[in-house]
Structure 1
Amino acid sequence: MKKPLILVTNDDSIVAPGIRFLISVMKEIGEVIVVAPDSPQSAMGHAITINNTLHLDKVNLDAEIEHEYSCSGTPVDCVKMAVHEILKRKPDLCVSGVNHGSNSSINVIYSGTMSAAVEAGIEGIPAIGFSHLDYSWNTNFEPLRSYVKSIVSAVLKNGLPEGVVLNVNFPKVDASEIQGVKICRQAKAMWVEEFDKRTNPQGKEYFWLTGEFVNKDLGEDTDEWALRQNYISVVPVQFDLTAHHAISTLNSWKL
């Protein structure tokens, strides 16, 4: 049987350990093409490059992969470039990550990792974003290999509902402590933010964004709950942002 064509991308840059691990797993499953940012693009969300030129450079970080490219743009740019400039046919799957850090709950909105997966979904490509709650650059991803393979294989076999991509987060625990996989909803949590204002030696003010993640969602069906219980959380994410439940309310207004 013909191997599936798998597009791999991320937001931590093409040299990040997370994507190098994900590439190694995907090589066991299918034919791999890599298009990833040439520098870190965390928290870029669904940004695209429209006011600057884009550069695409073929690289050879893995001798087994014929098509591997670094892109000067955002994660979403990478997917667009792959689909419209590089690939001769639509890939069977797009995987993004593995992100160094959480993309659970509201973080999905800001995530470059997940926005790359969402862009693939918009293009009609089944897509999965993978993230690990460990922010360390030297994280050992190997214990996740069997879980990544299982989730990817299930998507390749079953497909995904139209307009849906998967947001997968791994807890920061030893492999022996992982309790399994939970299908979840996104927790209703948020960042309570503030700006740390400072002054540089020239007397000009500058700011660092800081904040605290607050989760007041007590549900036991959320990604935050699952991760605290050492489960791998899997949230189906839709990119139709219509609040369908609010349409009848708005229709009752005299606009």
Structure 2
Amino acid sequence: MAKKRPLILVTNDDGITAPGIRALIEVMNTIGDVYVVAPDAPQSAMGHAITINDTLYCNKLKVTKDEPQQEYSCSGTPVDCVKLAVNEILKRKPDLCVSGVNHGSNSSINVIYSGTMSAAVEAGTLGIPSIGFSLLDYSLEADFEPAKKYIKLLVNQCIENGLPKGVVLNVNIPKLSAKEIKGVKVCRQANAHWEEKFDKRTNPLGRDYYWLTGEFVNNDKGEDTDEWALANGFVSVVPVQFDLTAHHAIKDINTWELS
């Protein structure tokens, strides 16, 4: 008896026509039955935003006519896409959700801003094993071929072994050729931050406006971090939990005079 193919939900934050999601769909079609529900326009850095004060639209379409996946574009955020997919579009809960491949890094502190990872986290909260994939190349001409091998490897391992309860994977892939990538490192999120600046300007009507700029600063010298792995030619895999409780702080907070 043939093994049943898994049902896979694919989403992203760069939009349904972005090259990264098209590469991810291609790989997923070799593994399972694929449904794509993704934003109809770029939704980068939306974090875990959801639409509550506006209507949502979802349209069935076919971006790539010669591939078997079912595709829907959504007017909302990446998290909206997951919610709509699970509650309205798919006939059953998917066996796996994959998000990406994002154009650009979602390592370290970037994970909390990322629409790519928020979509994966949302699926995780619904009990769906989930992985967010990112390539360290912002270009629309980015080469996703070297990443495909590792995407397929990690997805197959996830399907075979499952994930710990309450955990999703944040996978970042260096901008290197297939020969240059050294392998995979399971690691922790580096303790890094953005030193942010606002470029203040004035429009022709005299109104001030701002462009957010900044510099990424990694002060974490550990060799067990995602930043170290990526800088040294490895694919980084960080297990991310969506229980944000700082369990180690409960004891200290309980020493306060709270009565």
- Do they fold alike, i.e. is TM over 0.5? yes
| 1:114 correspondence with 2:117 | yes
1:191-235 deviation line (CA, Å, top 9, x unaligned): 010110000011110000000000000110000000000100000
Q: Give runs of aligned pairs for residues 1-255 of structure 1, distance below 5 A.
A: 1-63=3-65, 64-65=67-68, 67-255=70-258
Alignment check: 8 A CA contact 1:33 1:65 kept: no
The percentage of aligned residue pairs carrying the same residue is 72
Distance across 1 between alignment mates of 2:63 and 2:140: 18
- Name the SS of the counterpart of 1:25 in structure 2: helix
TM (normalized to structure 2)? 0.97
Q: Report the CA distance between 1:124 and its aligned residue.
A: 0.4
- Give the distance between the partners of 1:40 and 1:240, measured in 2 at CA: 28
Aligned letter for 1:48? I
User: 2: distance between equivalents of 1:202 and 1:55?
Assistant: 35
- Over residues 134-178 of structure 1, what are the superposed CA-to-partner deviations in whole Å (9 max), with x where a residue is unaligned? 111111101211111100000000000000000000011111111
Name the SS for the 1:24 alignment partner.
helix
- The one-letter amino acid of 1:147's match is Y
CA–CA separation in structure 1 for the residues paired with 2:59 and 2:11: 14
CA RMSD of aligned residues (A): 0.7
Moved over 4 A (4+): none
Post-superposition offset of 1:66 = 5.0
Superposed displacement of residue 252, structure 1:
1.0
For structure 1, the residue ranges without an aligned partner over 5 or more in a row are none
* Cα offset, 1:32, TM superposition: 0.2
Counterpart of 1:23, as a letter, is I
Name the TM-score, length of structure 1 as normaliser: 0.99
The CA deviation string for residues 33-92 of structure 1, in whole angstroms up to 9 with x for no partner, is 000000000000000000110000001113333521000000000000000001111100
May I ask how many residue pairs the two structures share in their alignment?
Answer: 255
